Amino acid sequence: MTKTGLTEFDAVVAVARLGSFRAAAAELGMSPSALSHAVAALEARLGARLFNRTTRSVSPTDAGEQFIARIAPALREIDGAIEGINSHRDTPTGTLRLNMAAGAARMILTPVILAYLRRYPDMNVVLVTEGRLVDIVGQGFDAGVRLAEAVPQDMIAVPIGGQVRMLVVGSPDYFARHPEPKTPEDLLRHRCIRARMASGTIWHWEFERGGEAMAIDVPGSLTLDEMTLMLEAALAGTGLAYLSEWSVAAHIAAGRLVSVLEEWTPAYPGLCLYYPGRRHVPAGLRALIALIREVNATGRPITGN
């Protein structure tokens, strides 16, 4: 679904920003072939190639860069005018683009995003997950969702749910073969499932009690970069995992996992929706903010799926 109705221009700007015809087509709700034809038709009319295309990458030509630099601000103005009309509707319509880590998406998908779509059936949500923190304005997102500590200081932040907590968990089978750790230092004698961050660094497990804080570079023969895989490995008895409480609560309650070192893992500020502090906030984003505040007002923690 194009934002301005100027299909060919929207297509060119999206391809330049995303560096991919397929990603641009998904964002605009078009088939890749239709988007490719739209760009080709515009190039034919202009008599100039706008993109260099290879099997691995897409990048603007010099002519393309100049053209996009001129039309992109105009398209934003048109989109703003359309959004201004939309703000007068009883029910918002359009597309809301959100960026967040995969774990955050799993946490809020059912209680927030799906509830939002049920309430506002004329809205479309494009949810892009990636571990690294991106420039949501430069990448064309309306808002992002991250832990409070990661929200850029120049953004307006709206808390989602309450505090969150990390837990060290292992399966009963694992603890039948290994003693439970009593202190974080005991983890150095355990098999742990190490977490690789989006930056490529290994996450050191963080602990705090009575003002004493430490970060442990745990040992382990398995390193993963996806939370659901870490959970699966922990359930299989491979080793101890360091996971968010909401992702393991049901397994702990059912006896499939055992939590240890809980006195060393206090709660801390959780997820926030954040967006640029500009004068005009799109109607669709305002509606999402209102829904999040309703969810917060219930006082019930967000527990994901």
pLDDT tens profile 110-132: 999 999 999 999 999 999 998 88
In this predicted structure, what is the pLDDT of residue 268?
86
In this predicted structure, what is the pLDDT of residue 261?
97
26-55: average pLDDT: 87
pLDDT tens profile 134-182: 889 888 899 999 999 899 988 999 999 888 899 999 999 999 999 999 9
181-204: average pLDDT: 94
On the question of pLDDT at 90 being above 80, the answer is: no
- The C-alpha atoms of residue 70 and residue 63 are separated, in whole angstroms, by 11
The model's confidence at residue 55, banded by pLDDT at 50, 70 and 90, is confident
pLDDT tens profile 231-275: 999 999 999 999 999 899 999 999 999 999 999 999 888 899 999
What average pLDDT is seen over the chain? 89
On the question of pLDDT at 187 being above 70, the answer is: yes
The model's confidence at residue 1, banded by pLDDT at 50, 70 and 90, is very low
The two three-digit tokens of residue 221, written as one number: 């023969």
On the question of pLDDT at 27 being above 80, the answer is: no
Buried b (16+ CB within 10 A) or exposed e, 197-216: eeeeeebebebeeeeeeeeb
Q: Give the Å distances, CA to CA, from 57 to 20, 22, 130, 180, 282.
A: 7, 11, 19, 50, 32
On the question of pLDDT at 5 being above 60, the answer is: no
- Which is more confidently placed, 69 or 297? 69
